[in-house]
């Protein structure tokens, strides 16, 4: 029986939508085959220990990519937030809160600068990465500090049935999906990256949309830094350096694209979970040396992207 043309055209789109989930299932299947005991409440808690901050950083990057930009400073920013959390937020909470709110204002200002001066976001955010890194080193020259007790309590939660990292990831994905994909202003934010001219002609401010996207990126960057320190209990100026590439990979693995404002909050979180599982548990069970694990993660991303290209080409050929 032959498929109807409409059904045939929908098949590649459906496959692209399901690809992030299929990637996660394949990684979980491989882990289950290598170590069945890892597929348990305790096993998921250990394997996904760092998944929450990675997922939050990925969502932060997703907001920037929504506007056709790229944030190369998110890793350094997460590290700076971690240093603030382990020092001022614990010893001088009011000052710590003011500093973190100031970070959101700076992120929004960076978005405004990029829009008003038509500057490449890669260049601006690369410069900001050095700023955040320098501030983190000035604040905490050597590893130390301690997470606030309330943050340790939150990140140490053990809800029944569902491990905390999985539950937190589900909540984050649901909230961001509703806000970005199901609200009118979420459509404006996505449209600013997909068709800015049409959004501007409709009377919406592209400047405000850009500032909102970068402010949201800053907000989730702050949450990522808080979650990371709540897990590690102490801070280091370099603690978030790897999050820049992980966040970009998570968005792309989750179905996002660099053009057109095409992103998926749920896919981004799934991509972050996939990377968190593949970054250490899977490769450790495969007895791959740590020096090769980064390359293996890159190989996983390339395979997924290649599968997406093949699916897209099959759709156009039909």
Answer with the residue of higher pLDDT: 311 or 109: 109
pLDDT in tens, 49-94: 889 999 999 999 999 999 999 999 999 999 999 999 999 999 999 9
Confidence of residue 283 (pLDDT cuts 50, 70, 90): low
Residue 105 to residues 215, 216, 291, Cα–Cα distance (Å)? 7, 10, 38
Confidence of residue 46 (pLDDT cuts 50, 70, 90): confident
Lowest-pLDDT range, 171-175, 211-215, 308-312?
Answer: 308-312
Is residue 1 over pLDDT 60?
Answer: no
pLDDT in the model for residue 313:
64
Answer with the residue of higher pLDDT: 13 or 316: 13
Distance (Å, rounded) from C-alpha 20 to C-alpha 26? 10
pLDDT, averaged across the chain: 88
Helix axes 5-34, 290-317, angle to 10 degrees: 160
Residue closest to 51 by CA, chosen among 271, 305, 283: 271
Mean pLDDT of 118-138: 96
Is residue 318 over pLDDT 60?
Answer: no
Mean pLDDT of 20-28: 85
Residue 60 to residues 42, 63, 101, 143, 159, Cα–Cα distance (Å)? 28, 5, 16, 25, 26
Runs of H (alpha helix) within 117-255: 121-139, 149-155, 164-181, 184-194, 196-201, 206-232, 243-253
Is residue 6 over pLDDT 60?
Answer: no
Answer with the residue of higher pLDDT: 1 or 314: 314
């Amino acid at each position: 029986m032959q498929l109807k043309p409409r059904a045939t055209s929908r098949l590649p789109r459906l496959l692209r939508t399901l690809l992030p989930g299929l990637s996660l299932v394949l990684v979980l299947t491989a882990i289950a085959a290598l170590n069945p005991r890892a597929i348990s409440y305790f096993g998921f808690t250990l394997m996904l220990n760092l998944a929450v901050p990675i997922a939050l950083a990925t969502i932060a990057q997703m907001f920037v990519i929504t506007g056709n930009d790229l944030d190369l400073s998110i890793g350094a920013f997460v590290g700076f937030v971690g240093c603030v959390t382990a020092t001022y937020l614990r010893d001088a909470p009011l000052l710590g809160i003011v500093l973190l709110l100031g970070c959101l204002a700076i992120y929004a200002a960076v978005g405004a600068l990029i829009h008003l001066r038509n500057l490449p976001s890669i260049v601006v955010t690369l410069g900001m990465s050095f700023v955040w890194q320098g501030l983190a080193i000035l604040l905490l020259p050597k590893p130390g500090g301690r997470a606030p007790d309330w943050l340790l309590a939150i990140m140490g939660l053990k809800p029944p049935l569902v491990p905390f990292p999985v539950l937190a990831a589900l909540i984050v994905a649901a909230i961001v999906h509703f806000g970005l994909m199901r609200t009118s202003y979420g459509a404006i934010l996505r449209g600013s990256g997909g068709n800015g001219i049409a959004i501007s002609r409709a009377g919406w401010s592209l400047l405000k949309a850009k500032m909102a996207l970068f402010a949201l990126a800053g907000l989730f960057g702050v949450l990522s830094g808080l979650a990371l320190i709540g897990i590690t209990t102490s801070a280091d100026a370099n603690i978030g350096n790897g999050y820049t590439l992980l966040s970009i990979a998570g968005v792309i693995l989750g179905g996002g694209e660099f053009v057109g404002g095409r992103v998926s909050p749920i896919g981004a979180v799934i991509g972050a979970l996939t990377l968190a599982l593949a970054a250490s548990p899977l490769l450790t069970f495969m007895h791959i040396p740590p020096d090769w694990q980064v390359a293996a993660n890159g190989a996983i991303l390339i395979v997924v992207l290649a599968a997406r290209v093949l699916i897209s080409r099959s759709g156009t050929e039909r």
